[in-house]
Structure 1
Amino acid sequence: MINHEPTLTALTEPTHPTHPTSISSAFQIAVYGCAPDEKGLFESLAPTLGVSLTTTPEAVDADNAELARGNRCVSVSHKTPISNATLLALKRAGVRYVSTRSVGFNHIDVEFAANIGMTVGNVAYSPDSVADYTLMLMLMSVREAKATIRRTDAHDYRPATARGRELRDLTVGVVGTGRIGAAVIDRLRGFGCEVLAYDIRPRPATAGVEHVDLDTLVERSDVVTLHAPLSEESHHLLDRRRIARMRPGAYVINTGRGALIETPALVVALEEGRLGGAALDVVEGEEGIFYADLRGREIPNGWLARLQEMPNVLVSPHIAYLTDHALQDTVENSIMNCREFESRFQHV
C-alpha cells in the first residue's frame, strides 16, 4: 500500500478489495489526464470503493489545479511531465497526496514534492503486460519482422536472404530483476536460452539464472533487455562504452525508460552495423511525441526519426503496459492509495 513517510514514494501491489478502508467523511479524488477507457473504469469502481470523482482529460498543470480544490488526493497520468509550479498550485488548492498511475515517477520531482509537504505514490500493475510485450519484441527482432512486414506490404513476397535466429541458441541479458524483469525471466525459461541477470540493487539469486555485473552481461549477451527504473544512478545505464562492448550483431530491447540508453551511441552502432537491431517501446525525448497524432508533421526528435528509418529497429509509443488487466490494476490501485492516505490523514 502507500508509504506514509513524506520523503518516500509508494508501490501498491495489484489488489481487488471488497471492503474499502473506513473513512469518516465524504471522500473525493480529482483525476487528471483521464482517458476514455480509464474514465469508464474509474466511474465503475468509485461507488464500490466509496469515493466520488472529478475527472478531466486534461493533464494537470498550474492553470487547472483549482479543479482539485477540496480534495487532498489527486490521481495523475504519467504521459505529461508535472512541473514544480504545478505541484505548488496543487498544494495551494489543498492537495497533499499525488497518485501517479504508473510504476515510474521520473515525470515528477518527488524530492521537491516532499519539501513542500506532499507525498507522491506510484502504483503497480500486472507485470505480465510488459513481460509479454517484451518477449514479442524480442522474437520480432531476432526474426527481422519489421523488414519482412515492410517487404510484404510492398507486395514483395520473396524470403529474406538472412536467416532468423532461435532464442534457445542465444544468451539473453536481463537488466533489472524486479517484478517485470522477473516475469521476463520466467518466460525465457520456456525457450531454453541461457539467461544472465543484473540489478543495481542486490536481489535474491534466481534459479537457473547467472547473476553477473553489467559489463559482463553486455559482453556475453546476444539480446540485452532493459527493465530498470530510471534514476540518476541508472541514467544512460547502457552508455557509449557499454554499447561498444556488446557482441557484434546483438539486439537491444527497451520497455523500461528511454533514458536508460545513450541514444546517439545506439543510433551510431546500429547505422554502422555493429548491432543486429533494436526494439524500443520507450525512447529518450519521447515526451510530447508519443501519445500525439503527428501524421504529416516533422518529428521533433532527430534521433527518433533516424531510428524509425532503419529496417532492423522497431519503435512503439510506450504502450507495453497497456492491457485491460493492467489498466484495471492501475485505476483500482490509484484509488486505493488515495483512500489509504485519506484514512490515515483523518486519524492523525
Structure 2
Amino acid sequence: MEGTIGREPARTAARRARSLGSSSVVLTTGITVYGCERDEAVVFRELAPRVGVLPTITEAAVSEANVDLASGNRCVSVGHKSRVTNATLRALSQVGVEYISTRSIGFNHIDVDYARSVGISVGNVSYSPDSVADYTVMLMLMVIRHAKSVIRRTDVHDYRLNEVRGKELRDLTVGVVGTGRIGAAVIDRLWGFGCRMLAYDTNPRISADYVPLDELLQRSDIVTLHTPLTPETHHLLHRRRIEQMKLGAFVVNTGRGALLDTEALVAALGTGRLGGAALDVLEGEEGIFYTDRRATPPDSDLLLRLQKMPNVLISPHTAYYTDHALRDTVENSLANCLTFESGNQHG
C-alpha cells in the first residue's frame, strides 16, 4: 500500500519527472540526499541533472549533526534504514527544509504528525510491486520445500533426502493479509500455481475472496503479510491469533517486522505449532540489517534463536532491492521534490 502526504500520487510525479528529462536542463533546484548508498548515488547523479536538480549526496543518515548539508534546500530525500528523530526534524526545519521525500513506501521511521507541526511535509514513493511480490512467492516456495535445510546439508556434502517432505502450492490455501499493490501482485502470481487464496483488508479493493482475519488464519496453510505498519497493525499477528492458525501453517512476512509478535512466533515454532516462517523483515532489525556483523554477531536473542531453526528463513529486508525498483525509487523521490517546489502539492 502507498500513502501520500502533501504531494501528488507518485506515479503522476514520475511521469512529470520523465517529461522534464533532458541533458540541457538548467540546474535550478537543490536537493540533499541522505542515507544514499553507492548504487543509489549512481542513479541520482544520472537522473537529477536531467530534471534540473543539483543533488548533495551523503551516505550518512540524516541527523542533527549533518542538517547543515540541507542549508539552502527546501527538499531532502531520506532512506528508510534509520529513524528520523523528532529532534532531527526540528533541526531540519530550522535550516529551511519544508519537504521530506522518503525513499520507501512506509512512513513508520518518521513521525509525520510531528514533522507537520514544525512545517515539514512528508511524502513517500512508489516502486515496482513486482520486486517484493516475486520475492514473497520465492520465500513461500523455499519454506514449504525446506530449502534452508536442503541447501545447508548439501553444502556439507550430505545428499540424503530429508525425512520431512515438501508441499506443493496447488494443495495449499494461501491467506494474503493486505491487498494493496504488493498484496495484489502476490495474488496475481499465485493464480498460476493453482492454490486456493483468501484475502483480508480493511479496505477491499480487488477481486478476491475476502474473509474476516480470524477466518483467514484458521483456514490458511500459508499466511503472508502485506499491510502497512500502523498503531492498529502493530503485532497484527499476536499470540492469540497465532494460536488460531492451522497446525503446521507457515508465516511469510515481507511487510514490516512489527506486524508479527516475534516472541509469540518463536514460541509457536519451537513447539511445532507452526510449520515454519520466512521473514524478510524482523522486529529490532534496525542497526543489524544492512550492516556487516560477521566480527560482532548481533545480541538479539530472538534473531539468533530464529536463525538456528531449520524451518525458518531470514533475509535482511531485501525483497524490494532490484535494479528496476531502485530506479523507480530515485526517480519518484526526485519527482516528489520537484512537485513540491513547483507548488503543485495536494493534501
TM-score, normalised by the number of residues in structure 1: 0.94
Counterparts in 2 of 1:57-206, with a 5 A limit? 57-200=59-202, 202-206=203-207
Instruction: Tell me what 2:310 maps to.
Output: 311
SS at 1:271 equivalent: helix
Contact kept, 8 Å, 2:5 with 2:122, in 1: the verdict is: no
Contact kept, 8 Å, 2:27 with 2:54, in 1: the verdict is: no
- Indicate which of 28, 32, 35 corresponds to 2:34: 32
What per-residue deviation string (whole Å, max 9, x for no partner) do you get for residues 16-73 of structure 1? 543239x998211000011110000000001111111100010000000010000000
Question: What's the offset of the Cα at 1:2?
Answer: 9.3
Answering whether residue 221 of structure 2 is matched by residue 222 of structure 1, we say yes
SS at 2:110 equivalent: coil
Counterparts of 1:48 and 1:197 in 2: how far apart (Å)? 42
SS at 1:19 equivalent: helix
For 2:184, give the aligned amino acid. Answer: A
Instruction: Tell me what 1:12 maps to.
Output: 10
Instruction: Tell me what 1:329 maps to.
Output: 328
Counterparts of 1:277 and 1:345 in 2: how far apart (Å)? 48
Instruction: Tell me what 1:248 maps to.
Output: 247
Counterparts of 1:332 and 1:314 in 2: how far apart (Å)? 32
Structure 1, gaps ≥5 residues long: none
Counterparts of 2:85 and 2:49 in 1: how far apart (Å)? 32
SS at 2:328 equivalent: helix
Contact kept, 8 Å, 2:184 with 2:206, in 1: the verdict is: no
Contact kept, 8 Å, 1:11 with 1:103, in 2: the verdict is: no
Percentage of matched positions with identical amino acids: 60
Distance 1:174 1:126, change over 3 A: same
For 1:321, give the aligned amino acid. Answer: Y
Counterparts of 2:77 and 2:336 in 1: how far apart (Å)? 10
SS at 2:31 equivalent: strand
SS at 2:64 equivalent: coil
For 2:131, give the aligned amino acid. Answer: S
Counterparts of 2:164 and 2:80 in 1: how far apart (Å)? 40
Question: What's the offset of the Cα at 1:4?
Answer: 6.5
Question: What's the offset of the Cα at 1:345?
Answer: 7.4
Question: What's the offset of the Cα at 1:161?
Answer: 1.3
Instruction: Tell me what 1:300 maps to.
Output: 299
Contact kept, 8 Å, 1:4 with 1:341, in 2: the verdict is: no
User: Which range moved further: 114-123 or 294-303?
Assistant: 294-303
Question: What's the offset of the Cα at 1:299?
Answer: 1.2
Question: What's the offset of the Cα at 1:300?
Answer: 2.3
Instruction: Tell me what 1:43 maps to.
Output: 45
Question: What's the offset of the Cα at 1:298?
Answer: 3.1
Structure 2, gaps ≥5 residues long: none
Counterparts of 1:103 and 1:239 in 2: how far apart (Å)? 24
Q: RMSD value over aligned CA atoms?
A: 1.9
Counterparts of 2:121 and 2:179 in 1: how far apart (Å)? 26
Counterparts of 2:318 and 2:297 in 1: how far apart (Å)? 22
Contact kept, 8 Å, 2:132 with 2:319, in 1: the verdict is: yes
- Indicate which of 53, 56, 68 corresponds to 1:54: 56
SS at 1:276 equivalent: strand
Counterparts of 1:2 and 1:247 in 2: how far apart (Å)? 33
Contact kept, 8 Å, 1:2 with 1:10, in 2: the verdict is: no
User: Which range moved further: 159-168 or 130-139?
Assistant: 159-168
Question: What's the offset of the Cα at 1:243?
Answer: 0.3
Q: Which has the higher helix share?
A: 2
Question: What's the offset of the Cα at 1:203?
Answer: 1.9
Question: What's the offset of the Cα at 1:204?
Answer: 3.0
Instruction: Tell me what 2:285 maps to.
Output: 286
Counterparts of 1:217 and 1:75 in 2: how far apart (Å)? 38
User: Which range moved further: 240-249 or 12-21?
Assistant: 12-21
